Homo-oligomer: A and B are copies of this chain.
């Protein structure tokens, strides 16, 4: 997905949120906003938004000196999700379609996102998404590919959401490789977060090799690209990964909640809609 004009003020808002998360020093935050403001003119609109996000969060780290501003909040979100885990497993047990319920739960976890600046309440959001209509629902193709796949490449998004991903991975019952960001960026899931979420018990965990808050193939490592190109089935979580991969030429399933209207428009759905979409089926 290309960068839209609406993304430009949003980059400034993201920088402000991340700056505030990193430091209370208003001068440093102003320096960060000055720097991101000047960057706007150099952003090619053909780039995907997470490519710019990558540059912004590099600036956050450099100017504030804080490598992982969201560290504490990520731990707290993972703990909250782990506390919900038994109830979510019970919800699957009680459901008439276990796989579909697990998909809904994985999408519900996608509300734990500090990139978009929306407030969320995990418990309330899970309850809503468990009964919400899908705006795009390529479930049949999902089942078809899942049955054929010997293994699955699963692209994680946010820390905390990772616990919800574990539930879907358990339900699919296939060997899964879970992909995380190479370094902390926003509240995105890293190796450490994935292990804390218990994903090492159900999947192999690998890094994308990139610090971008989304999967941008030309920023990823060769090792990741080999896995990406040869995967039987790819599940991509969240907005950042969608923005990076929406135009790739292989089959990918996108599971997300459309939390910003730019992405909603791009998907031809409404803001807050939930989506299970396949490309190049």
A residues near B (Cβ < 8 Å) are: 5-6, 8-10, 12-13, 15-16, 20, 26, 29-30, 33-41, 45
- Min C-beta distance of A78 to chain B, whole Å: 29
Q: Which residues of chain B are within 8 angstroms of A41 by Cβ–Cβ distance?
A: 34-35, 37-38
Interface SS majority for chain A: helix
Q: Which residues of chain B are within 8 angstroms of A12 by Cβ–Cβ distance?
A: 8-9, 12, 37, 40
Cα distance A8–B35 in the bound complex, in angstroms: 12
- Min C-beta distance of A14 to chain B, whole Å: 9
**Cβ-defined contact, A33 with B5, below 8 A:** yes
Kindly list the 3 A-B residue pairs having the minimum CB-CB distance in the complex, ordered from nearest: A37-B40, A34-B41, A9-B12
In the complex, 25 of the A-B residue pairs with CB atoms within 8 angstroms, ordered by the A residue number, are A5-B16, A5-B20, A5-B26, A5-B29, A5-B30, A6-B16, A8-B12, A8-B30, A8-B33, A8-B37, A9-B10, A9-B12, A9-B15, A9-B16, A9-B33, A12-B12, A12-B37, A30-B45, A34-B40, A34-B41, A37-B37, A37-B39, A37-B41, A38-B40, A38-B41
Q: Which residue of B lies closest to A15 (CB)?
A: B9
**Cβ-defined contact, A13 with B9, below 8 A:** yes
- Min C-beta distance of A41 to chain B, whole Å: 4
**Cβ-defined contact, A40 with B33, below 8 A:** yes
Question: Do A16 and B8 form a contact, CB below 8 Å, given A37-B40, A37-B41?
Answer: yes
Cα distance A73–B161 in the bound complex, in angstroms: 44
Q: Which residue of B lies closest to A3 (CB)?
A: B30
Cα distance A12–B37 in the bound complex, in angstroms: 9
Q: Which residue of B lies closest to A26 (CB)?
A: B5
Cα distance A5–B16 in the bound complex, in angstroms: 8
Q: Which residue of B lies closest to A39 (CB)?
A: B37
Q: Which residues of chain B are within 8 angstroms of A30 by Cβ–Cβ distance?
A: 5, 8, 45
